[in-house]
Amino acid sequence: MGADGAIRLAVPASPEYLRMTRLMAAGVAGRLGFSLEEIEDLRIAIDEVCFALVGDRGRPGTVVVTYRVSGDGLVVEGEGRFEEGLGVQPRLSPLSSRILSVVVDECSLEAGPTGPTFRLVKHRGR
Amino acid sequence: MATDATERAERRERFRRFAETGDPRLRDELVADHLGLAEYLARRFANRGEPLDDLVQVASLGLLKAVDRFDPSRGLEFSTFATPTIVGELKRHFRDKGWAVRVPRRIQELHLQLNTVVSSLSHELGRSPTIAEIAREARVSEEEVIEALEAGQAYRSASLDAPGGAGDDDVSLSEGLGAEDPAMADAERRVTLSPLLAEFAPREQTILHLRFFEGCTQSEIARKLGISQMHVSRLLSRSLAQMRERARDA
């Protein structure tokens, strides 16, 4: 955990390791008293954005995910650090966008300096 | 058919000769003749994070063992005898090497137990339970609960749903999906599905539609369809994983 109270997890950008980012999200959300269904939503959201970042086969590089508690919510930010760097533009299908709008309160996906980035916010008990 | 019967008899004769002589050329022929079976079984273990070529190699090794051990005088068909040997070899491969995709038995069992715990707690509390509540009820740690819940999400590493391929007898993966459920059929009739879901099978469309277009919670869907919330969760994960696979192939 960093001095800012955030938890940071860096994993290889492949599906086997992205599982860890879901586990961590479930762990932190569980501590915050999120319900099982809210945790499932969060997991679906992380799957969707991670797929947008690395596809389902992975990429050479790392994904750094930061978990931060904010009031009654959890902010999950991710950053791709890929060898192919700037070439990777994140894209969401219309269905993915729809799904994300239902399972989290806020979601954004942008091109960053070393690869795409995402930001998810999920509040408890809404 | 006469040809089939002749072929069978001819194959049986070759196995008998091989059992007698141990002729390596005969052995190679018998293995080559049944590579299709090894490949078929290897495919059933695909989508678990291991390259298909590797799995075919492993299955071929199982096939080789089966050819060596087969005793034609016992009256079994070779494929009947070889299938468990080949599947055993594939499973061992995942057990030994597939650490990234393996779900420990303890966690698999806990996952099944949580199914009941979550249902009864949701009913009792009138809402979705927290991890702490589930852990207390199941008498395990919160970490174990989280791991067991994750096990249900691991479509790509679907040890719970083994064997997770496109096999004909793929019962566990299609659990609840393949069955004609009157509540499900009813729900299908009532909803006008989004065109975004057109590529999914009708039942998957219904679940995705209820969750993402009607805003129903997993518990509400579970009630409507007469299945457990964790089952809804698994079906959702599976549909979404399929969606991503299709996006990749597109």
Nearest CA-CA distance, residue B142 and chain A, Å: 8
Rounded Cα distance between B192 and B178, Å, is 21
Q: Which helix (H) or strand (E) holds A91?
A: none
- For residues B68 and B152, give the distance between their C-alpha atoms in angstroms, rounded to a whole number: 38
**CB-nearest partner of A16 from B100, B128, B134:** B100
- Is the ipTM, as predicted for this complex, more than 0.90? no
Inter-chain touch B143–A102, beta carbons under 8 Å: no
DSSP string for chain B:
-HHHHHHHHHHHHHHHHHHHH--HHHHHHHHHHTHHHHHHHHHTT-SSSS-HHHHHHHHHHHHHHHHHH--GGG---HHHHHHHHHHHHHHHHHHHH-TTT---HHHHHHHHHHHHHHHHHHHHHTSPPBHHHHHHHHTS-HHHHHHHHHHHH-STT-GGG-S-SS-TT-TTTTTTTSS--HHHHHHHHH----GGGTTS-HHHHHHHHHHHTS---HHHHHHHHTS-HHHHHHHHHHHHHHHHHHHHH-
- Is residue B154 less than 8 Å (CB to CB) from chain A? yes
User: What radius of gyration, in Å, describes the C-alpha atoms of chain B?
Assistant: 23
* CB-based contact B196 A38, cutoff 8 Å: no
**Which of A89-103, A107-121, B91-105, B224-238 has the lowest average pLDDT?**
B91-105
Q: Which residues pair with A8 in a beta bridge?
A: A66
Q: Minimum mean pLDDT among A23-27, B198-202, B235-239: which range?
A: B198-202
Cβ within 8 Å of residue B128, ≥6 positions away: A35, A36, A37, A38, B122, B217, B218, B219, B229
- Mutation pick from B111, B120, B134, B150 vs chain A, by most beta carbons of A within 10 Å, is B150
Contact A30 B142 (CB under 8 A): yes
Residue with tokens 């269904």: A37
State yes or no: pLDDT of B221 exceeds 80.
yes
pLDDT digits (tens, 9 = 90+) for B89-123: 888 777 655 434 456 778 878 888 898 899 899 98
Q: Alpha-carbon distance B101 to B98, whole Å?
A: 5
Q: Rounded to an integer, what distance in angstroms lies between the CA atom of residue B30 and that of residue B66? A: 10
Token pair of B158 as six digits = 């679907």
- Give chain A's mean pLDDT: 88
8 Å CB contact of B196 and A35:
no
Measured in degrees and rounded to the nearest 5, phi and psi for residue A123 equal: -95, 155
Q: Is A39 on the interface with B (CB under 8 A)?
A: yes
Q: Hey, of A18, A22, A23, A35, which one would you mutate to test binding to chain B, going by the most B CBs within 10 A of its CB? A: A35
Flag the least confident range among A1-5, A22-26, A68-72, B71-75: A1-5
Alpha carbons B111 and B108: distance in angstroms, whole number = 5
Asked if the C-beta of B193 comes within 8 angstroms of chain A's C-beta atoms, the answer is no
Indicate which of B97, B121, B131 best probes the interface with A, i.e. most A CBs within 10 Å of its own CB: B131
Distance CA A67, CA A5 (A): 9
Chain A residues within an 8 Å CB radius of B217: 37
CB count in 10 Å sphere of residue B27 = 16
- CB atoms under 10 Å from CB of B179, counted, come to 10
Among B227, B211, B218, smallest CA distance to B174 is for B227
B205 has a chain A CB within 8 A of its CB: no
- Residue B239 contacts A, CB cutoff 8 Å: no
pLDDT digits (tens, 9 = 90+) for A30-58: 999 999 999 999 999 998 998 888 887 78
pTM above 0.95, yes or no: no
> From residue A118, how far is each of A4, A87, B119 by CA, in Å?
19, 16, 34
In angstroms, the CA B133 to CA B215 distance is 25
Q: Is A32 on the interface with B (CB under 8 A)?
A: no
Neighbour-count burial of B30, counting CB atoms closer than 10 A to its CB (0-12 exposed, 13-18 middle, 19+ buried): buried
| Span B12-37, average pLDDT | 89
